[in-house]
Every structure is written in structure tokens, then in C-alpha cells.
Structure 1
């Protein structure tokens, strides 16, 4: 059973240290019982997160995926190997879904709870940790799906090509749908954080116009808000509002960074396989051209060999004819001279 996000030691086994090639496919055949992702786990994560509100989030120790290198994957037609990789990628997508659920829950906690500054910092660290983990996991899934797609291009003439392509397309669509959900979560959180900042600004300056509020919220320079604090007669409330706005501003910047990264993931999923396909096609075209040139060269060699053999044959014929002529002449001379 997959444990909750905070149930593992953060940083024990970063993705960069995992060696996918160390585990052979023979250790996990397709058809064996796989861990299935259950939607009920979403509720479990929410309950676990609430019970651990006073502790920092920790990175899950995901089991290393059952995976071989792309080069080996593209050189084998074994469908058991292929389906084992597909199942392992599905498990990773399930973990990604779990992470997104937790990200959404942490945003809700940050927005809806009345927290101390220390608790707010803990939630921020939790979000930082799980966001970094989710980014690594997303990139890992992206690479594994691309490896399968490129392998399918190399094996497009195999009997199982249609099955392979269908499975790869299903994985890709499931991954993209998960990323779309992540985008929605992050975009919604960004809008809610901005609305919270606007409310805090109104605490400082109740008479502010919508234009002034928008300028203060959108500006990267928080001096606009700080100046309002100095001008406010409600200094205590304004000072607390300033600290929260600064925190929310940082949160929004992190969200915007994540949204940009997600957009890049979408672009990568659409472009890299096309580029790989063009590279493979160029290699195949070059191989075909090389093969054609070799055929032409072989024909020319065969022609040259035939011509050489013909020339040698003609030389022997000429030599034999010359010998016969010489013998005839000798016989005639001997007969004329009366020797014979």
C-alpha cells in the first residue's frame, strides 16, 4: 500500500540517484498483480495532512520504476517487457495524482485557516517540498513515455506495432489529463491568493480604488504596499497585512513558475517525439540511400569482373589461334623444303 506523502523521509532517495537500468524486467512480468491507484487515497492524504499540520512535509520514497534503457527497449519485440514498462508508468501517474491532491489540500489550508506565522511557514515548506517532488516525478514520466514512443517508431514494422502505439497514446493522454488538472489547481490557487491580497489591502486602505488595489497586488515592488502601511491609521492591522501580502506575493511567484514549467511540459510532449521521428526517418532514408548506392556499386563491380573475364578469354583465344597459325606455317615451310 502506497504510504502518504509525509510518511516517508524527505530526501532519502532523490530521483537523480535512482538507476533505472539496475532492475531487470524479468523480475516483474506483465499480468502479475500491480498496485492500483485508488481515488479513496485522496481523502486519506487530506486526513494525514491535517494530523501533521505541526510538522514539515517530507518527500515520499517512491519505489524505483521497473524500467530498462530506451536503447534496449527499442531493440526488443517482447511484449511482456513492453507491458511491464507501461504498468510501471501507470503507477507513476497514480503517484502524480496523489501529489496534486496534496498540493490542492495545502493551498486550501493556507488560504482558509487562521494560522500563526510559524504555521504559515510550515505550510509553505510543505508546498515547496511537494512541488519540487511533483516536478521531478512529472519529468520522469515525460521521459519514460517518450522513450516508449521513440521505441515504437523504431519497431513500427513489427506485428505488435498497433498495440504498442495504442498503449503509448493512452499513457500520453492520461499524463496530459493529469497535468491539466495540475494546471487547474495552480491557476485556481493563484487567483485565490490574489483575491486574498486584495482583501488585505482593503484592510490597510478601505478607501482605495480598484485601480490602486490592482496596482498594489500586481506590482513586483512591494514598496507600494509598505507605503500604504505607513500612511494607515490602523498600523497594527496594516503591519500584519503587509507580512501576509509579502508571503502571498512569494506564493504567487512560485505558482507562476510552476505554471510556466507545466506549459513547457505540454510543449515537450508534443514536439520531442516529432523531432525523434524526423531523426529516425533521416537515419532510415540515409540507410536506404546507402543500400541503393551499395547495390549500384555491386553491379558495377560485377560488370567489371565480367569484362575482365571476357578480356582474359579473348586473350587465350588469340593466343591459341596464333599458336595454330605458327604451326601451320611451320608445317608448310617444312613441306616445301622437303624436310617432310
Structure 2
């Protein structure tokens, strides 16, 4: 049994509000449009980039998780933490690690169940399977957030423990395992989106059998949540069958928007895992810098003081020399005058 509920304080339901099943009304604004809309055959539409920097070929890749205990790499995001009053013992830390491992195993099960529900939704869609799929995705996103928060908590504790190899190794293994599951989940969602777009293309051909390949691709990437697009497609075929098929296409487009929202959330989780947690030593560095500055200022002051003392000594010597010269001059004058007047009197 999963134990992620015991950490319900971490994160929350990323979807928020009431749940909406796949195929329900568009939860996004009708004017928003499809912000990502890559082609159903893997070709991206200009102006509509995929979530993050991903493409159909590399949805299974992402930023590598940071390595605990290693210095951050150039360009890597860094999260600084201050030294805490205390850190967990290794035994308590390992207990938390085992809890996270159990949650990751639960995530693996969830991803497998989502894959099965995806297949069911594509082959024989119904309200029950759509509701089950939406519920499972919501649970999985809450679980993902919980696991991510627990790993970052453990990584912070490991950073504060300073060179605790046991903690650093365990956190590194958790991040690698979790990143692998996120990648598998992301690949599953991306493949599901691609198959969804292929179905949209096939259904559009039913309505417009004379459509060219470029028109089919445009339809597969169109914003079917927009009433104008829907009405334009009906102009060429207003039969009851066409109306039903395009209604189904419109519902599938809503599902694609939810898939892309999930992909964005998965990308953000992987970005968070790639952020290195570093113990904030800036106050210590500032204190050392302040001490160095004080030392430098003191040494500079001592040099100036020595120069002042030397100048004062030279000034005193000069005064004494002037004094002795004046005395000598007075003595010489007295001697000359004495001799002069003495000789004159004689």
C-alpha cells in the first residue's frame, strides 16, 4: 500500500477544483487555443512550441538530476539553504528514504495503470474509463509532488549534514529512480497525445474525404475548442454524421490540452530535481571577508603610522640640528665679539 498520504502536507492536487473526466467540456478558455499543438505526425506547428524544449523524439529525456555532495555545474540552477539547528540521524534519514522508495514503486504502478487506461480510452472510450483515467492522473500528480518534496527535504538535510556520504548516496539514488519514472510517464503521455492526434486526423478525413494532407495536419493541430474552427469545418459537410464526428474531435482536443498540461507539470518536476541544493555559507564568507578587510585596513594603518612616526622623528632631529647650529652661531659671534673688544681695549 502506498504511504504517500502520510505526507499529505507536501504539495496538493495540482489540478485543483472539481475533477473533470477526459472528454468533458473544455476546462480552458475557448479563446486560449492550443499553446503547444505539435503535429500529430511529429511535426511542430510554427508559433506553437512543445512543452519545454521537448519533441516527440526526446520526450523521454530531460535535465539530469543534480548530484548531492558535488559542486554545482556551470549554468545549473542552485538552491541555497542555511544551516539548520539540527539534522536527522542516519537511521531516521534511512527510514524516510524507504518511505520514498515505496512511493516511487507506487508511482510505477500508477504509470502502468495509466497506460492501460490510455489504451482503453483510445479503443473504446466511455464515461467510466474517462473518469478512471482522470482520477488516476490526479492521484499520480499529487504523488509526484509528494515524492519531489520529500526528496528535496532529504537533500536539504544531507546538505546540512556536510559531507555525509551515506545521505548523499541515498538521495542520489532516489533522484535517479524518480527521474526514470518521470521520464517513463512523460513518454507515455507524449505517445498518448500522438495517438490522439492521429485519431483526430482519421476522423477529420471521414468528414472531409477530399482533404489534402496539409489540411488534415492543420485540422489535427487546430484549436477545436474554438467555436469558429468547429463551424468552419461543418461548412463542407453538415450531415448528422459529420456533426457527431466533429463533436468527438472537439472532445479529443480538450483531452489533448489536459495531456499537455500534464507534460508541463512533469517537465517542471524534472527541472526541480535538477536544481542543486547547496549549504548557504555566504554569512561565513562575509565574516571572513570582513576579517580580511579589517586586517588589511589595520596593516595599512600601521604603515601610515610608521610613516608618521618616522616623519616626526626626522622633524625632531631637524629641530635639534637647527638648535645646535643656532647655538654654534651664537657662540662663534660671542667669541668673535669678545676677541674684538678685548683686543681693542688692550
State the TM-score, normalizing by the size of structure 2: 0.58
Equivalent runs, 1:222-241 vs 2, <5 Å: 223-232=228-237, 235-241=239-245
Is the 1:183–1:259 contact (alpha carbons within 8 Å) kept by the matching residues of 2? yes
| Aligned-partner Cα distance in 1 for 2:133–2:153 | 30
Is the 2:186–2:266 contact (alpha carbons within 8 Å) kept by the matching residues of 1? yes
Is the 1:74–1:151 contact (alpha carbons within 8 Å) kept by the matching residues of 2? no
Matching of residue 107 in structure 1 with residue 118 in structure 2: yes
- Matched residue, 1:184: 187
| Aligned-partner Cα distance in 2 for 1:74–1:171 | 25
1:261 to 260, 265, 272: 265
2:95 to 84, 89, 93: 84
Is the 2:97–2:170 contact (alpha carbons within 8 Å) kept by the matching residues of 1? yes
1:137-157 Cα deviation digits (max 9, x unpaired): 111111111111111111114
Equivalent runs, 1:1-340 vs 2, <5 Å: 18-19=8-9, 75-76=86-87, 78-113=89-124, 115=125, 119=126, 121-157=127-163, 161-220=164-223, 221=226, 223-232=228-237, 235-271=239-275, 274=276, 276-277=277-278, 280-286=280-286
Is the 2:110–2:140 contact (alpha carbons within 8 Å) kept by the matching residues of 1? yes
Alpha-carbon distance change, 96 to 284 in structure 1, aligned in 2, over 3 angstroms: farther
User: Where does structure 1 lack aligned partners over 5 or more consecutive residues?
Assistant: 4-12, 21-69, 297-340
Is the 1:204–1:241 contact (alpha carbons within 8 Å) kept by the matching residues of 2? yes
1:183: Cα distance to partner? 0.4
| Aligned-partner Cα distance in 1 for 2:142–2:211 | 43
State the TM-score, normalizing by the size of structure 1: 0.59
The higher radius of gyration belongs to: 2
Is the 2:2–2:102 contact (alpha carbons within 8 Å) kept by the matching residues of 1? no
Alpha-carbon distance change, 72 to 127 in structure 1, aligned in 2, over 3 angstroms: farther
| Aligned-partner Cα distance in 1 for 2:97–2:237 | 60
1:165-206 Cα deviation digits (max 9, x unpaired): 111100000000000001000000000000000000000011
Alpha-carbon distance change, 210 to 145 in structure 1, aligned in 2, over 3 angstroms: same
1:279-301 Cα deviation digits (max 9, x unpaired): 623244346568x58x98xxxxx
1:77: Cα distance to partner? 5.1
Alpha-carbon distance change, 72 to 143 in structure 1, aligned in 2, over 3 angstroms: farther
Q: Which has the larger helix fraction? A: 1
1:265: Cα distance to partner? 1.1
Classify the secondary structure of the residue corresponding to 2:281.
helix
1:73: Cα distance to partner? 9.1
1:228: Cα distance to partner? 2.9
Q: Which moved more, 1:133-142 or 1:185-194?
A: 133-142
1:102: Cα distance to partner? 1.5
| Aligned-partner Cα distance in 1 for 2:98–2:179 | 17
Equivalenced residues, count: 225
| Aligned-partner Cα distance in 2 for 1:74–1:88 | 24
| Aligned-partner Cα distance in 2 for 1:251–1:82 | 41
| Aligned-partner Cα distance in 2 for 1:94–1:287 | 46
Alpha-carbon distance change, 283 to 122 in structure 1, aligned in 2, over 3 angstroms: farther
- Matched residue, 2:310: none
Q: Which moved more, 1:142-151 or 1:71-80?
A: 71-80
| Aligned-partner Cα distance in 2 for 1:74–1:82 | 16
Alpha-carbon distance change, 186 to 110 in structure 1, aligned in 2, over 3 angstroms: same
| Aligned-partner Cα distance in 1 for 2:287–2:90 | 27
- Matched residue, 1:38: none
User: Where does structure 2 lack aligned partners over 5 or more consecutive residues?
Assistant: 11-80, 296-346
